[in-house]
Amino acid sequence: MSRGLARVRTWAATVSVACLGVLAAGCEDSRPAGPDARIELYSPVLAAEDGAREAERAYLGEILRAHEQADAALAAGDEASARARLAEALAHPVAAGDRAAIVRLDLAARYGELQTPDADGASETIRMLEPLLAIDQALPIDSATARALVVLGDAASRVDDHALAAGSYARSVRVMSKLRSLEAERLGLGDADAKEGAR
Amino acid sequence: MSPRSHADLSPHDAERIAAELAALGEPELEADELASLTDEADTDLAFVEGLREFAEPLAPRVELEALASRRVWSRVRSRVPGARGAGFIAGGVLLAAAAALLVLVLRPDGSDSGEAREAALALRAQAHAGLEALGVDTKPGADAARVRGWLGRSGEGDRG
């Protein structure tokens, strides 16, 4: 009787430890432990396909109007209207093409810049920007990407999410380093110098 | 974070840096390199200050990394006529920021919230200085102007 009870206890303990292990592994997978500075970048191709060109131009025109109206609202001291106009433009379906993607990142960054001084606005900025700048999302090598990542970092700092803030700032620095490296190539500087400096 | 002046580099600091360079077999600091550690544009000063705060336990290593970046860019600058000024500062800030990033990635205890907070504070200064060095304009009117530029060029099939 006592030997059987001991076996049951041993079996139960083994199962419990296994379950805890599975749970711990699950938690580890779903919650990053610290700053995540990974980023996947691509060189934007700014020559639109013929079929997409008109749709992309239309999208850019819509975003241009939104920026102009937001500028006018800000000049009149009406920041709420500026935010509302930018939010409306963000809800507009983005056209295909790298120009459109870059313009949308700038638009999202500008909206976030207006929102972030307020804690609630900072949380909203994180909800908006995180999917656009997700780790598994390839991002264009452009200043708009760096700017949007900085805005995400600022918003995360505002709500004391320091891991997200550090990761976002680090990712923005990587974008800017890549931009600098491309600029050095355009200037005809040796790639070895750029690589040496980046180490 | 307040910018440091050249006078802030104490004789003790200078001696320590000289000793570390000698231990690594590196040549002595040139006068302009010594000055560059503290006496640069505001963005560089902000960077140096941020880096010191960020990497307190690794201060000697970080200072040497910043110095290495400075030396690389001194060589680059000497090869590019007219590339002094803003371009040099921008490159220096970004390279030094990349060095700070390397320290962050390599730190084994980066998951601690206190460490993450310190890293965020330091990297924030780098990121903002980098945007400024890149000439990213966020003032009203700047975004509209950029989109207008895209629209003006959208039929040319250009790249970059």
Rama region for B107: left / alpha / beta (φ>0; ψ in -120 to 50; rest): beta
Contact assessment for residue B58 and residue A171, using Cβ atoms and an 8 Å cutoff: no
CB-nearest partner of B158 from A47, A64, A170: A47
CA separation (Å) from B62 to B14, B54, B68, B127? 15, 10, 10, 17
Enumerate the residues of chain A whose CB falls inside 8 A of the CB of residue B79: 189, 193
- The string of pLDDT tens digits covering residues A153-165 is 999 999 999 999 9
Q: Which of B103, B124, B126 best probes binding to A when mutated, by most A CB atoms within 10 angstroms? A: B124
Tell me whether residues B143 and A107 touch, CB distance under 8 A: yes
- Residue of B147, B148, B153 to mutate, interface with A, max A Cβ within 10 Å: B147
First CA to last CA distance, chain A? 68
Q: Nearest CB to A173: which of B73, B115, B130?
A: B130
Better-predicted residue by pLDDT, A126 or B50: A126
Task: In whole angstroms, give the CA distance from residue B116 to residue A60.
Answer: 38
Q: Give this prediction's pTM.
A: 0.61
pLDDT at A170 over 50: yes
Render each residue's pLDDT in chain B as its tens digit; 160 residues.
444 444 456 667 777 778 878 877 777 777 777 766 655 444 555 555 555 555 444 444 445 556 666 665 665 555 555 544 555 555 656 656 665 555 555 454 444 577 788 889 889 998 999 999 888 999 999 999 999 988 876 544 433 3
Nearest residue in A to B96, CA atom:
A198
Among B127, B146, B151, beta carbon nearest to A57: B151
Q: For A8-28, what is each residue's pLDDT tens digit?
A: 554 444 444 333 333 333 334
Whole-number pLDDT of residue B90: 59
Q: From chain A, pick out residues whose CB is under 8 angstroms from the CB of B99.
A: 199
Residue appearing with tokens 């945007």? B131
- Domain carrying residue A113: 3-198
Identify all chain A residues contacting B69, using CB atoms and an 8 Å cutoff: 197
Q: What does the pLDDT look like over A21-73, one tens digit per residue? A: 333 333 344 445 678 889 999 999 876 555 568 899 999 999 999 999 999 99
Nearest 5°: phi and psi at A139?
Answer: -120, 145
> What is chain B written as a DSSP string?
--PPPGGGS-HHHHHHHHHHHHHTTPPPPPHHHHHHTTSS-HHHHHHHHHHHHHTGGGHHHHHHHHHHHHHHHHHHHHHSTT--THHHHHHHHHHHHHHHHHHHHH-TTTTSHHHHHHHHHHHHHHHHHHHHHHT---STTHHHHHHHHHHHHTTTT---
- Looking at the 3D structure of chain A, how many domains does it have? 1
